[in-house]
Amino acid sequence: MKLASIREFIKADLSNLKTDNLYRKLRPVDNQKGHLLVNGKKIINFNSNDYLGLAANQEIIKNSLNDFNEISQCSSRLVGGNSTVFENLEKTLSMHRKTEASLAYTTGYSAVLGTLSSVADMNTTIFSDELNHASIIDGCRLSCAKIKVFRHNNMEHLLKLLRGVKGKKIIVTEGIFSIEGDMSNLKSICKLAKEFGAFTIIDDSHGDFVFGTHGSGTPSELNVNNLIDIHISSLSKGLGCFGGYVASSNMVREYLINSSRQFIFTSALPTHLCNFAIEAISIAKKGVQQTKLFKNVQMVRNGLRKIGYNTGNSVSQIIPIQIGSEKLAMEFASKLLEKGIFVHPMRFPTVRKGRSVLRLSLSASHTKAELVYTLEELYNLGRKHKLL
């Protein structure tokens, strides 16, 4: 294809995105001591996944920079060497997830991609929940496996799909779904996996450090921790840090080190981030931040339902407000921002077309006054737009 036609294609595609209200642009923000400023104005931020409010903890930041020698080792762990800091982080993560071993990745996205594309091949069938995150969809595609998508949390559909499929099977799901905020039906999934000899992989990026005893995750909350073959998570959400990891058996770790291109062919996670993660885990384990978070969750979820908003089946700190049209979702978000409330309108391809939502990500660091004010403004706006 000629370069000119590629240019025309890009131009036309951008124009279509604008017409369909699906155009995305980067919004400039500033950060002042952990407070986000938009247009120089302090806002209440519902777009961060810093659920436990640890990302701006100055003491952890200071401690994690204690032996700060270089910003990054500027090479992969296989080539540039394996600092004891990585091993310490991975031991801490294995203890946290109650698994034999762990492996750190530079992001949660690459951990998901790296795992699925390594353990599955064209002779594997992957059963994937229809609302699974983009990283899972991309990992499935990259693996070249046959993909069967089951209806969201629908075990009858999963059972129907599992029947008659021969060969290697994987069931992959999220723990807490990233837009809906609901919990995966892990008990039934594990039961079906056992019955059909399927491997279980869970991406618990949004349940990790939040749910379960001492924040040990969604499978622990549901008493199925030892039935999960591979746990994957992000360090950039509940923990308020950056990076990703896989927790599983020694053999899976060894296999990923030898086969996962997203681990082999990229530079190592910087060690100051590993230090931050180790210290943040020790704070998360105390459970104080989770108690604060769930107090906030209770207040907002009850408040929204009382006002009359549809928040779906959310049971977590992720609370979606169903809006529908892309245009209205954008209008809502922009009006809220004028009032100092920062909520992103989630549109296609993050959600289905015509099913836009405003997703509130709650944090332990939100104050009661901020949440009361937000509920009041959401009520005013909902009345004005005849949504309530």
Q: Interface with ligand PLP includes 135 (CB under 6 A)?
A: yes
Q: How far is the CB of 62 from ligand PLP (least distance, A)?
A: 23
Task: Report strand pairing: 168-174 vs 124-129.
Answer: parallel
Q: Interface with ligand PLP includes 272 (CB under 6 A)?
A: no
Q: Interface with ligand PLP includes 108 (CB under 6 A)?
A: yes
Q: How far apart are the first and last CA of the chain?
A: 51
Beta bridge partners of 233: 245
Q: Interface with ligand PLP includes 46 (CB under 6 A)?
A: no
Q: How far is the CB of 222 from ligand PLP (least distance, A)?
A: 17
Q: How far is the CB of 11 from ligand PLP (least distance, A)?
A: 29
Interface residue with ligand PLP, options 48, 153, 216, 234 (CB under 6 A): 234
> Among the candidate windows 103-111, 246-254, 270-278, 303-311, which touches ligand PLP by CB under 6 A?
103-111
Query: 277 to each of 60, 234, 284, how far by Cα in Å?
Result: 9, 11, 10
Residue 87 to residue 292: CA distance in whole angstroms: 31
> Among the candidate windows 21-29, 105-113, 248-256, 318-326, which touches ligand PLP by CB under 6 A?
105-113
Please name the residue ranges forming H helices in 144-230: 155-162, 186-196, 218-221
> Among the candidate windows 90-98, 143-151, 202-210, 330-338, which touches ligand PLP by CB under 6 A?
202-210
Residue (of 305, 380, 373) closest to 335 by Cα position: 380
Residue 89 to residue 78: CA distance in whole angstroms: 17
Beta bridge partners of 354: none
Q: Output DSSP code: residue 241.
A: S
Residue (of 217, 183, 201, 184) closest to 318 by Cα position: 183
Q: How far is the CB of 307 from ligand PLP (least distance, A)?
A: 27
Interface residue with ligand PLP, options 112, 145, 277, 323 (CB under 6 A): 112
Interface residue with ligand PLP, options 203, 208, 229, 370 (CB under 6 A): 203
Interface residue with ligand PLP, options 114, 215, 244, 320 (CB under 6 A): 244
246, 17 Cβ separation under 8 angstroms: no
Footprint of ligand PLP (CB under 6 A): 107-109, 112, 133, 135, 174, 178, 203, 205-206, 234, 236, 244
